[in-house]
């Protein structure tokens, strides 16, 4: 089972990084303690992976079929891409990394690529942050005034937001596991090494392990950054991200939680006017679209050419 090691590493890294998008604000705002937050996040990531995470695996299998050797190269290439992009401080999407590696290995390995499926996935890379932007904009524009009138008093409003942060964090964790577990073990399910149920369970467990063991630094960083837009608007951004992940899980397409939450924060900024939008965040999404799948595809192709004899 050593061939699963690159996938397990990517799952661990995914959990360590993306947990911040789910529970970062809850921790830094004091709504929930760190240990409680990561415990709930790990539990619901695992639950979401096992209960709802199998549809995305079917999408990756339909994109290109790989045997175990190809699956190993795909997972290793995606993991390397995520590591390098994170080290350089560039936006990274495990979904884009996985897709780029699948296509890169397929092209040099002589495997057919279903270009219609690839187009469907590529469209989701654009529509997921835009969808989060639109949902966050509408929530902040129309729901915020209603809540402000209904929850009168600073103490009551603070209590309302704290409980809201906990509930949204739980939903976001479930949606993260359901949508992103295919990035971890989907290619091995397609190769026949794992059944969909076992693949979802193993992938969800590796993500949960990353949440439990190495998420603190990113949680504090992202949580403090989200808090700068205000606790209530940030809660709405997290809700928009969770909604987008849930929708794309239903159609079987893994997307980036990081890009979704950035799109949501941009939508919050638009309520205050275009000048309030952080253009660097918009540029970060575009750079992620361009560099992540291309770099991962190149890594996948090179690894297949170098390792196919050994594997």
Question: What whole-number distance in Å separates Cα of residue 183 and Cα of residue 187?
Answer: 8
Confidence band, pLDDT 50/70/90 cuts, at residue 34: very high
Proportion of the chain above pLDDT 70, given as a percent: 95
What is the extent of the structural domain holding 165? 2-307
Dump pLDDT digits (tens) for 115-158.
999 999 999 988 999 999 999 999 999 999 999 889 888 889 99
* Segment 3-14 mean pLDDT: 90
pLDDT value at 276 more than 60: no
pLDDT at 88: 67
Distances (CA, A) of 49 to 44, 212, 234: 8, 16, 25
The number of folded domains in the chain is 1
pLDDT at 274: 61
Torsion of CA 267, 48, 163, 148, to 10 degrees: 30
pLDDT digit string, tens, across residues 76-116: 999 888 888 777 656 578 899 999 999 999 999 989 999 99
231, 161 Cβ separation under 8 angstroms: yes
pTM: 0.91
Instruction: Give pLDDT, residue 285.
Output: 65
């Amino acid at each position: 089972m050593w061939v699963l090691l690159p996938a397990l590493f990517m799952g661990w890294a995914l959990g360590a990084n993306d947990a911040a998008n789910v529970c970062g604000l809850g921790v830094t705002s004091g709504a929930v303690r760190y240990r409680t937050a990561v415990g709930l996040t790990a539990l619901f990531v695992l639950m979401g992976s096992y209960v709802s995470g199998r549809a995305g695996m079917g999408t990756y299998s339909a994109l290109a079929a790989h045997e175990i050797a190809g699956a190993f190269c795909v997972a290793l290439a995606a993991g390397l891409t995520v590591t390098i992009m994170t080290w350089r401080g560039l936006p990274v999407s495990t979904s884009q990394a996985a897709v780029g590696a699948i296509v890169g290995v397929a092209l040099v390995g002589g495997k057919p690529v279903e270009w219609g499926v690839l187009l469907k996935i590529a469209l989701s890379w654009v529509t997921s942050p835009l969808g989060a932007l639109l949902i966050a904009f509408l929530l902040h524009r129309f729901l915020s005034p209603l809540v402000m009138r209904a929850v009168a008093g600073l103490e009551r409003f603070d209590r309302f937001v704290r409980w809201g942060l906990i509930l949204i964090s739980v939903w976001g964790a479930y949606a993260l596991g359901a949508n992103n577990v295919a990035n971890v073990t989907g290619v091995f399910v397609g190769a026949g090494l794992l059944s969909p149920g076992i693949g979802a369970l193993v992938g969800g467990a590796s993500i949960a392990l990353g949440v439990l063991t190495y998420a603190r630094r990113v949680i504090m960083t992202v949580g403090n950054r989200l808090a700068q837009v205000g606790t209530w608007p940030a809660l709405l951004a997290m809700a928009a991200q969770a909604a987008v992940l849930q929708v794309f899980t239903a159609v079987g397409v893994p997307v980036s939680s990081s890009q979704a939450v950035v799109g949501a924060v941009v939508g919050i900024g638009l309520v205050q006017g275009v000048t309030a939008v952080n253009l660097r965040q918009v540029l970060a999404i575009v750079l992620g679209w361009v560099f992540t799948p291309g770099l991962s595809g190149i890594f996948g192709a090179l690894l297949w050419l170098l390792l196919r004899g050994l594997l």
